[in-house]
Structure 1
């Protein structure tokens, strides 16, 4: 490769979820970068090069090309005009959306207990076809304001999940709780029951153990994890994938 007067750098791109057999150790990564670099006719520059090249192995093949870092859009979403201290974090919301919708092509999604719209903002920023609703008019107003603030176009209605008539591929539900959204166990069961009615797949976030309740509606729990808030894990949410 011949470059004119541009400086360059070659960067080995690490993929975190490779199997142990596929992983390449640090020293070998640096050797690969040097090997590629020697074949580029130009001036290498380790800091702020004009061109950043990436090299990465993926599914048995090597890929090389101009590397463009992904912009961390979600970091901008941390500063919402409307926020509740008990709302899920922006980072967790984005992770949950990725879990719920790994491939957004042709997938219709609903957040029927959307609160102030943390999940909606992340999903809309990723180009996902999602609508939101909540029975609380005050939080719906806040959700609409947050969506508009980031220049996204999303529909949020004042509606109880029991009134939802459409059908969706996926529903994401952060179970209501705290002084803004007091719910009884019966109401929680009703939410899950109607979620099964309107969606094929549901991702539930809860601070309580509700496996028995989920299973009694006919769902199967196919995956789960725990997301802790704070270094001492004083506040935890379960993320439960149901089908």
Structure 2
């Protein structure tokens, strides 16, 4: 009980939030920056690839196998490996976080495109839609919710794992966890972990809201009808 009380006291202390560069607010911004940059870089690589695979149907089995294997890679091992190769700093964990984020974004994009009924695409082609029109008027509206779901999963994974960036001398909220372990400051270590969980829950809720808004109204109504039919 004393540890819990001391943890929340640490979180509520003014100096925890304003320690001049090594405070919880500054490290939170660093943590979010790492997460956003990693997911954006992963999206730049995975979204075009996932769209092409979902659109053409080629190499889908291979991609599923690769994404499954990539999810099994130990992130700490990757950070250690890149740290040994590239030195300490933000670059080694950034590369590892991008690798961690790619499978979820790729799977979300591929699933969103491949789940579209082929008859819809055939009808669009019959009406003379060009490929850019198919992408903007069919692929994007109907596949956007699953794409955002992939980004949501990737961001949550990256945000939870970005604490390991401090292992190779980078910033982020992991600084408090590793410092708490080294100095046996349990309230600091637990306080940082609790704050990370709060940020992850908030981010997940925001992505969930965006995903709901991105789902077309007709699809939402259909899902409600199907759910009612199953009951």
Higher helix share: 2
Higher strand share: 1
TM-score range, shorter chain: under 0.3
With structure 2 as the length reference, what TM-score do the two structures score?
0.23
> Per chain length, whose mean CA-contact separation is higher, i.e. which structure has more relative contact order (CA < 8 Å, sep 6+)?
2
Structure number, greater radius of gyration: 1
With structure 1 as the length reference, what TM-score do the two structures score?
0.23
